[in-house]
Structure 1
Amino acid sequence: MAYSRLARLQAEQAMKQEKRKYSIRKVSTIGATSALIGSLVFISTQAKADEATTAQTETQVVVDNAAQTTDQTADVDNAATATSTAAETPAATSTTTASTEEAPVASTAASASEENNTTSETAEATATSETTDTTATTETATTVKENDEKANATDTSKADKAQATAEVDKIAVDENGLTEQAKKIAEEAGLDIAKLTDAQKTALNKIYMDSTAETGTQMTYKQFQEIADTLLAQDERYAIPYFNAAAIKNMKAATTVDAQTKQVADLDVWDSWPVQDVKTGEVVNWNGYQLVVAMMGIPNTNDNHLYLLYNDYKDNNFDNWRNAGSIFGYGLDAITQQWSGSAIVNSDGTIQLYYTNVDTSDNNSNNQMLATATLTLAVENGQVVIKSVDNNRILTPKGGDGYYYQSYKQWRATFTGADNIAMRDPHVIEDEDGQRYLVFEASTGTQNYQGENQIYNWKNYGGDAAFNVSSLFDILANKDMYERSSFANAAIGIVRLTGNEKTPSIAQYYTPLLSATMVSDEIERPNVVKLGGKYYLFAASRLNHGSNDIAWNKANEEVGDNVVMLGYVSDKLTSGYKPLNKSGVVLTASVPADWRTATYSYYAVPVEGSDDTLLVTAYMTNRNEVAGKGKNSTWAPSFLIQILPDGTTRVLAKMTEQGDWIWDASSETQTTVGTFETSYLPGENDGYIDWNLIGGYNLKPHMPYKPTDPTTQHTPEDPDKPDTPTPDSPTPNTPTIPNKGQGKVPNVPAVAKAGILPTTSDSDNSLVATIGFAILASMTAYVAYGGYKRKYQ
């Protein structure tokens, strides 16, 4: 269809060019006869008008050549780095948006063809420079070679087609300056075309309908909005149940020898996962014990390492959990860290751990790599002990493969301080044929890469024309949203494993199961559960890592947090996932982020004997004693959710003690069940949250707000006069209050033009200068005709 449309547009242009010839000949004749007169009159203009004209002409040249200069710079950068540096990357975005609010709009004036050219060059450079991120095997090498060739062929084809179409669309505009497609979109959106600004028309003309990129399931901007709306509604089917704050306690097993200091300390405990059956996902009974691996560390310290925790199988008592110690020993440092993953039992009873190896030696950045190790355990004197850790090996030393998933080199080349990278949280699962896979958090590669061009990709929006256009204009009107949309490329990836169960390597990369290009930059901790013949994919996310500032700021203001659990279902493990509850929402925050009972990092575990019920585990209280000194991050009570046949879910009124990973007849309790009034500690429900710090792990200790007048409730600032800070380098963890206008078409400032001569104080001289300029324009038309003849005849 694209090629037939191109041919049709080219034919139309040929007809228009023939019609222009007669008019151009007439104008050129007039220009030829008036050339001498025009020159004499124009020269007679006063020096002041000459100076103004010269200055304005120079400005025009700068404006006209801006896009060309940007492209040349990008080309030089690409050649020098051989990575994904491109005009549509966050680095370019940061440069163009740093000065004023109008800058994002101005930067959109670069044509779609220029963007696609850069993307094509990026893919070629990446495919040449990036190699497989696995331990070398013949099968892997062949697969990666095929991926490289596919990256070159696919991106070149898409770029050529897009460039050709865009070049025609530049010319094929109507009297309103809109392409045929842009006009149709505007009409469907109910816009008054006569009132559109030049910048809005430019934006509409740049929209493209990309259906060729292999994205897997796409989280759309519309779905993100629906998820945020569900959070705001506090629908009891999805809202995380209230916990009794007074019943929550630190984990005794978290008071242990720290892996870095080798001193006994009270540690935070956060991302945790049980040792599971690789097929069913159920918690394994290992020699009478349940085993859990947990990330732990000293509060307010860069201390992120893995520990092995254990308890008697099906023991519900939180205080009975014990600590077998740091898995990778002691004397560790903050340079190399170990993050979230999964674990299963090997055929000989050893534990195969999959985890994230993080190297921060490169200027404190996070080079994340999927890794694995074999743990040999023993029971000695009633205690589980770690006897050895073998086969510790990195599976993805370069991060992603570059094509399906962003490599560390690609990310580092364009990193501006705001762009997240992800190659972490590997979850291992085996299908019915005995083939093992890793599902993990990632960022998209050149197959569907991040960039400013994604803002104009219609498939990223997912709503009707009115919603999509309104959202597009909202993004263009807000610098922070523009930057976030440009670098957002979260994905849930999947790879196939090969080799021995203790020494696996990656055999093949697949298209992401889920992509959120332009929508979100972080969707983490994926796990896949098989229930009733279907595969259910779950993941956790913070909405403030998304590009819709309007939505998540409202969640922060009205609920006090923006965390969610997402869910998808498919008949196949490797593809075809559809969102549960239509938008993908499964759980939403119900209390402010700095309350003792706030939770995150949701992990669903199957309930033995059930094909529709899952036990949801999490950790409680964001790290670093945000709820107060001594109130460490700890395991939350678990609760049940049910999956209904129609693809919807609901929270059940069933809750456990803290740290219960196995639901059985003895699990249910009322001790931890709370209400809104019991879900916070004294002084917490004060209406004050420091949003400059909340959103990541850099939370400060909770300091209760004390109003001057005890009878006056603390309220936000006057909504009619909002404070709208605009940081120079906005990051996902430093929110700005967005521009208002959700659901409306904002008045996007027009791109600055410099084609009109300034007036002077002498009106007569202005008139002479204007006449002279008009005659000179006729001369220019004559010259243009000569060039026209050489080009088209």
Structure 2
Amino acid sequence: MLRVEETSGRVRAAPARWTVGDVARIDPARCPVAPLIGADDVARISDDLDIWDAWPVQDDDGTPAAIGAGETLWMALGAPRFDDPDARHGHARIHLLRHRDGRWQDLGPAMPDGFAPGSREWSGSAVLEADGTTLTLYFTAAGRRGEAETSFEQRLFRAHARLVIEDDTPALRDWRDLAEIVVRDPRYYMASDAGTGAIGTIKAFRDPAYFRDPADGRRALFFAGSRAEATGEFNGVIGRIDADRDGAPHWQLQPPIVDATDVNNELERPHVVAHGGRYYLFWSTQRHVFAPACAHAPTGLYGMVAESLDGDWTPLNGSGLVFANPADAPRQAYSWLVLPDLSVISFIDDWGRGTADAGARRFGATFAPVLHLTLDGERATLAGD
């Protein structure tokens, strides 16, 4: 039975709570961990381009769309290399990547200069229609184009393009129909520029991830948000935007579906995978954005499971943690994305170093080795564990 609450005269499903008690079940000494990343795993796409958050150009069911024999297209945030890797966030563009014969190729910025409405482009998702040509990109516009001072305002946009092959190289042409998907509802979601802008304190209204329900064809976007009217700084939530059931390209913003108030500030890149008749909601988060009462929780992939897209959402493994980075390299990878075949992609962050290690940050800025999950009801493990 769904929990309900009364809000402004309307009855709606209450968000699932990710609580301090859930996180207390995590034992850092015994939690599942990803394999240690070594030097042989760090294969850059380009010497002068750093990439991080990535997602496939997907079919409607979430599977990476095949555009040729063994060939897929991906998108990732990219920026020039900086001495301080955190500087990349102020220069992020969405790049189009080709994966063919086990190799990655950077095809340049996905959208033309001056098209996106922000000063930077942050994470999203991309869907290729059945015609194999029409592409829809859902993305985060950070800041405003032409702003004099970099801001952390985040807005959710959609745009269409045409996928073409020119001289054996994929390209996106005829960008059009740029539109803001929804406007933030201040009853439920805090303004995204309400934080200080310091790493770990930024508020969220970002990362739209597309999902089509195999049970009834409903389309939804899941995104990272911040709870309105929270009294503390740790107020991360996961929101949902529903498409009209008649197929019209109209979207309606829903109240949060997961609330991590007093637990965590950022539930990043939330996304859903349908498996075994259940729905698995995953997100990434980092140790430094947990509240003090949850400071033992590691950087890792977290999630919940439900019998339907409408909930009730229950923390996986009793705590929400699916797996963490290893203790010897607690920041080695981040931004995990689970695909329908339960493979898991991420990027290499500060690899090969422990928390106390001195010296320059070793930012990998490329794809991490692919991992694989096993899902069984409310249990989620790394395959082979």
Report the TM-score range of the alignment, normalised by the length of the smaller protein. 0.7 to 0.9
How many angstroms does 1:322 deviate by?
1.6
Asked if 1:570 corresponds to 2:306, the answer is yes
Report the counterpart of residue 504 of structure 1 in structure 2. 249
Q: Aligned equivalents of 1:587 and 1:492: distance in 2?
A: 20
More helix per residue: 1
How many angstroms does 1:419 deviate by?
4.7
Summarize the alignment of residues 135-534 of structure 1 with structure 2, pairs less than 5 Å apart. Answer: 152-153=8-9, 215-227=14-26, 229=27, 232-235=28-31, 238-243=32-37, 245-252=38-45, 254-255=46-47, 266-279=48-61, 281-288=62-69, 289-300=71-82, 301=87, 302-312=90-100, 315=101, 317=102, 320-330=103-113, 336-349=119-132, 350-359=134-143, 361=147, 363-396=149-182, 398=183, 400-408=184-192, 412=194, 419-431=201-213, 432-445=215-228, 449-451=229-231, 486-498=232-244, 504-506=249-251, 508-534=252-278
Report the counterpart of residue 637 of structure 1 in structure 2. 369
Classify 1:307/1:589 alpha carbon distance in 2 versus 1 (closer, same or farther; 3 Å).
same
Q: Is the 8 A contact 1:439 1:526 kept in 2?
A: yes
Q: Aligned equivalents of 1:429 and 1:581: distance in 2?
A: 23
> More deviation in 492-501 or 303-312?
492-501
Q: Aligned equivalents of 1:277 and 1:627: distance in 2?
A: 43
Return the letter of the residue paired with 1:282: T
Q: Is the 8 A contact 1:404 1:509 kept in 2?
A: no
Return the letter of the residue paired with 1:606: P
Summarize the alignment of residues 549-560 of structure 1 with structure 2, pairs less than 5 Å apart. Answer: 551-552=294-295
How many angstroms does 1:213 deviate by?
9.5
Q: Aligned equivalents of 2:115 and 2:278: distance in 1?
A: 41
How many angstroms does 1:525 deviate by?
0.6
Q: Is the 8 A contact 2:299 2:330 kept in 1?
A: no
> More deviation in 326-335 or 215-224?
326-335
Q: Is the 8 A contact 2:162 2:173 kept in 1?
A: yes
Q: Is the 8 A contact 2:220 2:243 kept in 1?
A: yes
Classify 1:333/1:153 alpha carbon distance in 2 versus 1 (closer, same or farther; 3 Å).
closer
Q: Aligned equivalents of 2:330 and 2:33: distance in 1?
A: 17
Report the counterpart of residue 3 of structure 2 in structure 1. none
Return the letter of the residue paired with 2:383: L
Q: Show CA shifts across 1:284-319 (max 9, x none).
A: 21244311110011233431010111123xx3x2xx
Classify 1:615/1:391 alpha carbon distance in 2 versus 1 (closer, same or farther; 3 Å).
same
Classify 1:368/1:539 alpha carbon distance in 2 versus 1 (closer, same or farther; 3 Å).
same
Return the letter of the residue paired with 1:429: F
Summarize the alignment of residues 521-670 of structure 1 with structure 2, pairs less than 5 Å apart. Answer: 521-548=265-292, 551-552=294-295, 562-592=298-328, 598-607=332-341, 614-622=342-350, 632-645=364-377, 647-653=378-384
Q: Is the 8 A contact 1:520 1:546 kept in 2?
A: yes
Return the letter of the residue paired with 1:565: L
How many angstroms does 1:563 deviate by?
0.8
Classify 1:240/1:296 alpha carbon distance in 2 versus 1 (closer, same or farther; 3 Å).
same
How many angstroms does 1:630 deviate by?
8.6
How many angstroms does 1:532 deviate by?
1.6
Q: Aligned equivalents of 1:545 and 1:618: distance in 2?
A: 19
How many angstroms does 1:517 deviate by?
1.2
How many angstroms does 1:433 deviate by?
2.5
Q: Aligned equivalents of 1:308 and 1:524: distance in 2?
A: 21
SS at match of 2:370: strand
How many angstroms does 1:628 deviate by?
5.6
How many angstroms does 1:627 deviate by?
8.2
Q: Is the 8 A contact 1:437 1:495 kept in 2?
A: yes
Q: Is the 8 A contact 2:239 2:258 kept in 1?
A: yes
Q: Is the 8 A contact 1:405 1:444 kept in 2?
A: yes
Q: Is the 8 A contact 1:234 1:590 kept in 2?
A: no
Classify 1:415/1:636 alpha carbon distance in 2 versus 1 (closer, same or farther; 3 Å).
closer
How many angstroms does 1:505 deviate by?
3.0
How many angstroms does 1:441 deviate by?
0.7
Structure 2 residue ranges without an equivalent (≥5): 1-5
How many angstroms does 1:436 deviate by?
1.2
How many angstroms does 1:324 deviate by?
2.0
Classify 1:627/1:534 alpha carbon distance in 2 versus 1 (closer, same or farther; 3 Å).
farther
How many angstroms does 1:422 deviate by?
0.7
Q: Is the 8 A contact 2:59 2:129 kept in 1?
A: no
Classify 1:437/1:219 alpha carbon distance in 2 versus 1 (closer, same or farther; 3 Å).
same
Q: Aligned equivalents of 2:120 and 2:246: distance in 1?
A: 26
Q: Aligned equivalents of 2:114 and 2:281: distance in 1?
A: 37
SS at match of 1:635: coil
Q: Aligned equivalents of 1:629 and 1:488: distance in 2?
A: 26
How many angstroms does 1:250 deviate by?
3.5
Q: Show CA shifts across 1:222-248 (max 9, x none).
A: 112223x2xx2143xx211223x1312
Summarize the alignment of residues 673-752 of structure 1 with structure 2, pairs less than 5 Å apart. Answer: none
Q: Is the 8 A contact 1:513 1:576 kept in 2?
A: no
Q: Is the 8 A contact 2:211 2:219 kept in 1?
A: yes
Return the letter of the residue paired with 1:425: D
Q: Is the 8 A contact 1:568 1:577 kept in 2?
A: yes
Classify 1:220/1:637 alpha carbon distance in 2 versus 1 (closer, same or farther; 3 Å).
same
Q: Is the 8 A contact 2:36 2:329 kept in 1?
A: no
SS at match of 1:222: helix
Q: Is the 8 A contact 1:406 1:442 kept in 2?
A: yes
SS at match of 2:60: coil
Structure 1 residue ranges without an equivalent (≥5): 1-149, 155-211, 256-265, 452-485, 556-561, 608-613, 655-793
Q: Is the 8 A contact 1:567 1:579 kept in 2?
A: yes
How many angstroms does 1:511 deviate by?
3.1
Q: Aligned equivalents of 1:240 and 1:394: distance in 2?
A: 37
Q: Is the 8 A contact 1:358 1:369 kept in 2?
A: yes
Q: Aligned equivalents of 2:261 and 2:225: distance in 1?
A: 12
Q: Is the 8 A contact 2:302 2:323 kept in 1?
A: yes
Q: Is the 8 A contact 1:494 1:574 kept in 2?
A: no
Q: Aligned equivalents of 2:334 and 2:312: distance in 1?
A: 27
Return the letter of the residue paired with 1:563: T
Classify 1:370/1:592 alpha carbon distance in 2 versus 1 (closer, same or farther; 3 Å).
farther
Normalization by structure 1: what TM-score?
A: 0.42
Q: Aligned equivalents of 1:415 and 1:632: distance in 2?
A: 27
How many angstroms does 1:362 deviate by?
7.9
Q: Is the 8 A contact 1:341 1:353 kept in 2?
A: yes
SS at match of 2:52: strand
Q: Is the 8 A contact 2:350 2:361 kept in 1?
A: no
SS at match of 2:222: strand
Q: Is the 8 A contact 1:306 1:327 kept in 2?
A: yes
Cα RMSD after superposing both structures: 3.2
Q: Show CA shifts across 1:746-765 (max 9, x none).
A: xxxxxxxxxxxxxxxxxxxx
More strand per residue: 2
- The sequence identity of aligned pairs, in percent, is 26
Classify 1:528/1:335 alpha carbon distance in 2 versus 1 (closer, same or farther; 3 Å).
closer
Summarize the alignment of residues 94-113 of structure 1 with structure 2, pairs less than 5 Å apart. Answer: none
